[in-house]
Structure 1
Amino acid sequence: MDDYKRFFDDQEIIYIGKPDSVKVFSGRERVDIQWLIISDPKVSSATIYWNNRAEQKKVDIQRGAGVDTVRTTIDGLTQGFHTFELFTMDQEGNRSVSVYTYGMVYGDNYEASLPNRSVDGIKYEPDGNTFVSWLLADSASIGVSLSYETILGKKRIKYISNDELTTELEGCDPDKQIFYRTMYKPDPMAIDTFYAPEITLKVNEILLKNAGSPFRGTNISGRWGNLESWDTNTAAKNHDGIGGFDNVNNGGFLSFEYWSTPPIINGKISQSIQLPSGKYRMVARVSNIDYTCEATYMLVCAGSNLSNVESIDSAIAAFRLTDNFLNNKDIAVPFQLNTRQLVTLGFLSTMVQNNPTSVRISSVRLYRENE
C-alpha cells in the first residue's frame, strides 16, 4: 500500500496557485497571452512552453494586492495553430500544475489572401472634390485605409467605415493615383491589423453639370426652357427665345427641335471644362430622334467654343446623329488629350431642310479611361 512513497523521498509536494482565466490574443507572427493570479501571494514568475517544449519564455511577476492580471507577448511564431503550456512558480522553486491553452497565429500567407473592398467608381467634380463610390463591404473587414495627394501636393489619409458608401476626397489631384487597402482583424480580440494588397486607382468619371436623367431646365414655358448650367446659343433657342430643354411628358431632355418653328443654323449646347491629359469617352443616351437629322453632332472641341457644322473637321472628335436607329442607344465620342487643356463638349445642330426633325438626349457622361 505504501510502495508509492519510494518515488517521493518522503518529501511533501507543494503546489502554488495556477494561472487562471487564460486567454490567447492572435497577432502577426505573435500572440499575447493573458491570465489572472487570483489569490496566491507567493507567485513570483511563470514559464510558458510551446513548440513541443522546444521553446520557452520566463515571465517575472510582481504581485500586488488582490487579483493581478499578467500579460506577455510571444514573438517569432509561424503562421498556424499553436499550443502553449503555462505554470507559475514561487521563489523556492515550487510550481503550479500546468495549464494548457492554444491560439492561432497569422502571417504573410493569410494577409496575401485577403480581398479588397470593391469600388463602383471614382468621380471628379471640376473645381470641386472627388467622390469614391463603394460596393458593399466584406463583413469580416473593419474598414479601408485610403491615401491621396491634394492639388497642393499634400498627402492625406482617410479611414472609411464599412457602412460608408460614398467617400468625399477634398482637394484631390485628379492627375494623381489614389491608394487604398482593406483592413482586417482575424478575430475581435486580435492584437494586429492586417491589410489586403494595396490597390491603385484614378478618377474614372468627370462629373458634368446637370448631366441628365433627367435634365433640369430654367425659364420653362410649357414644354420648353433653357438648360440649367449649359451654354445654349441663340440659334438653339428657337421656341420664342428659349430652347435646349424639352420637358415633354415631364421627362427633362436636352433637345433640338425644328417643328413648325424657325430653323436652326449651328445651334450649340455646350459646357467648357479643364481636363487633365488622358483618354476619355463622352457618352450620351439617345431618348429619341424623330425623322432624319440634317446635320446634328455630339462633339468635343479644343478651347472655349464648339465649331460650326461647316468646320466640323476641326473638332477633336465628333459623332453624327442620324435617325431613329439610335433611339434608346448609348452613343460615344472617344478622344485623347496629351496635355492638360480647356475643352468644350456638347451638341451641334443645323436643321433647315428636314421639317419636322427633333433630337432628345436623356443623359450625358464623361468617362476617363485608366490603363
Structure 2
Amino acid sequence: MNRNIIIFFLLLLTVAVASCSKWDEYKQYTENGETRYVGKMDLVETFSGRLRIKMTALLPADPRITKTKITWNFGNDSVVFPISKGSGADTFKQIINITEGVVSFNIVNYDAEGNRSMTETVSGTSYGSKYESGLTNRPITRAELLPNGTTEVVWDSFDSTSGAKGAWLIYTTTGNKADSVYVPIRTTGTTTIPNLKLGTLLTERTLYLPTSTCIDTFYAAAQTIPVKSDVTSLYLSNTGPGFQRGTYDGNRWGTLGTPWNTNAAAKNKSGYGGYSADEGGVINWETWNNSPVIDGIVYQVTSAPLPAGTYTVSFTEYSEIQANSSVYCVAAAGSNGIPVLANLTTALGSVALYNGATIGATSPSQSDTRSFSFTISAPQYVSLGFLGNIVGSGNPGSYFQVKKIQLYSN
C-alpha cells in the first residue's frame, strides 16, 4: 500500500515539473499573470518559384492582429506585411523574394501594442540559375523536311520524371514569319510541322516545373536543331533516276548531259564514257576489253553558292568494282571540278564505292546507298561528281552503276 502511494506522488511530481517547463516557455507572452499573446498562423504552406516563394496560411480569428513579420537567414532577412482583419478567419497569401535554395521561415503575428504570437516555422525552396543551368532539352533523333513540304521531328526517349513538362519548337514559316508549336512531354514518336521554310533551323526550349506546385516555369537553354532537307532540286539537276545523256553511240555508251562535265580520261569507250543506257540511264564505267579509266572524272557545279552549313551527299549504287580499282564520289570547293586521286585529300569530302569484287570476276557484287558529309563556313559554289581509277586489263572487267544522287542540307 505504501509503495503505491509513493509511486502516485512521484507521478504528480513529474507532471508538475513538466507543467513548470511549459509555463517557462509560455510566460514570455504574459505580464503580471495576464495572457497578452495574439493568435498565430495556421496551415502554413510554401510554393516554390524563381528566386521567390509563395506563402499561404490561415490567419486566426483574432481582430487585434495588425501585421505579420517573417524572418529567415538567422533573422538577418525579414519582411513585414500589414494585416487588416475582421472578426473571422482570413487567408494569408504573399510572395517573398529570396535567394536560391532551401530557407527556414519564422512567422510571428503582432498587434498594435507590440504583443506577439507564438512562432510558426516553415521551410520553402526557391530555384534559380543553378537549377536552370542543369536543365537539358528533350533529345531529338531526327528533324527532316520532306519533299511534300512537311517537317518530321522524331523524339528520342526522355525521363518524364525529371520535371520536364513539354518543349517549344520555334521556327520560320514559308511566309517568313516566326511561329512555334508546343509539344507535351507525354507526346512520343513524331511531331509534324506543316510549313517550315527550307534552309532554316529549328530552335528547341524544354520547360520544367521542379515541383508540381511551382509557381514559375523554368527553361533549358535554347538549342538549335539542324533540319535535314533535300536541296537537290535547288542546286543540282540531271541527278537520276534516269540520267539524261549528252552524246550517245546509238547502242549503250554515252556521255552525261548538262550540267555534267566529262574529262577525256572518262571517255574509255571510243570517245564515250561515264554514261550507259542501262536501267534507263546511269552514271557508269565499264572496263571490259582493255578499256581502263585513269583519273576519269564526271562532275557538275552547284547552280548557286551553297549557304554556309553542313551537307550530305547520298547516292544509290550497284557495283562489281574489283579490289584493284576505285571509284569515289567527291565534293570539292569551287567551280573548277573535283581533284584527281593523288589530290583527293584536298576535297571537301568523299566516299568510295564498293570495290569488293574478286579481281577478274564480277562477284561478289553489292547494291546499297552510300553517303558522306561536308561543311563549308561561308557561301560558295561546290563541284560534285565521281572520280574513277579502274583497271581494264582483263575480262571480265569492273562495272558499276550510280542510279540516283541527292544533296541534303543538315
Tell me if TM exceeds 0.5. Answer: yes
Asked whether the equivalents of residues 275 and 340 of structure 1 are also in contact (C-alpha less than 8 Å), the reply is yes
Note the 1:1-371 alignment, pairs <5 A. Answer: 10-63=32-85, 66-75=88-97, 77-126=98-147, 128-139=149-160, 140=162, 141-164=164-187, 165-206=189-230, 232=242, 264=278, 267-268=281-282, 277=307, 278-283=309-314, 323=357, 324=363, 327=366, 330-332=369-371, 367-369=408-410
Shift of 1:99: 0.2
Tell me the secondary structure at the aligned position of residue 131 of structure 2: helix
Question: What residue ranges of structure 2 are gaps of 5+ in the alignment?
Answer: 1-15, 234-239, 246-276, 284-302, 332-348, 358-362, 386-394
Output the TM-score relative to the length of structure 1. Answer: 0.62
The one-letter code of the counterpart of 1:193 is T
Aligned counterparts of 2:195 and 2:328: Cα–Cα separation in 1? 34
| Deviation for aligned residue 1:49 | 0.7
Equivalent residues of 1:149, 1:176 under 8 A apart: yes
- Counterpart residue type for residue 149 of structure 2: G
* Cα distance, 1:330–1:91 mapped onto 2, change above 3 Å: same
Q: Per-residue displacement from partner, 1:57-76 (whole Å, max 9, x unpaired)? A: 1112233575422111111x
Say if 2:313 and 2:372, in contact at 8 Å, map to a contact too.
yes
Q: State whether residues 125 and 207 of structure 1, in contact with CA within 8 Å, keep that contact through their aligned partners in structure 2.
A: no
Once the 2 structures are TM-superposed, how far is the Cα of residue 326 of structure 1 from its aligned partner? 6.1
Tell me the CA shift for residue 233 of structure 1: 7.3
274 and 232 in structure 1: CA distance in 2 versus 1, 3 angstrom threshold: farther
Provide the C-alpha distance between the structure 2 equivalents of 1:84 and 1:284, rounded to a whole number of angstroms: 67
Check whether the contact 1:20–1:38 (CA below 8 A) recurs between aligned residues: yes
Q: Over aligned residue pairs, what C-alpha RMSD do you find?
A: 4.8
Q: Residue 192 of structure 1 aligns to which amino acid in structure 2?
A: D
Q: CA distance change for structure 1 residues 123 and 276 in 2, over 3 Å: closer, same or farther?
A: farther
Matched pairs, number: 299
Flag the 1:65–1:233 CA change in 2: closer, same or farther, 3 A: farther
| Mapped partners of 2:139, 2:27: distance in 1 | 71
Residue 88 of structure 1: how far off its partner (Å): 1.8
Alpha-carbon distance in 1 for matches of 2:198, 2:243: 31
- Of structures 1 and 2, the larger Rg is shown by 2
Structure 2: how far apart are the matches of 1:9 and 1:333? 88
The one-letter amino acid paired with 2:224 is T
3-state SS in 1 of match to 2:281: strand
Which has the larger share of strand?
1
Q: Say whether the 8 Å CA contact 2:110–2:116 is kept in structure 1.
A: yes
| Contact 2:69/2:80, CA 8 A, preserved across alignment | yes
* CA distance in structure 1 between the partners assigned to 2:154 and 2:173 by the alignment: 19
Q: Look up the SS of the partner of 1:110 in the other structure.
A: helix
Return the structure number with greater helix share.
2
The normalised TM-score by structure 2 is: 0.57
2:70–2:78 contact (8 Å) kept in structure 1: yes
Give 1:46 shift. Answer: 1.2
Q: What percentage of aligned pairs have identical amino acids? A: 26
Task: Indicate if the aligned counterparts of 1:125 and 1:208 stay in contact, CA closer than 8 A.
Answer: no
CA distance in 2, matches of 1:6, 1:92: 17
Check conservation: 2:199, 2:409, Cα contact below 8 A: no
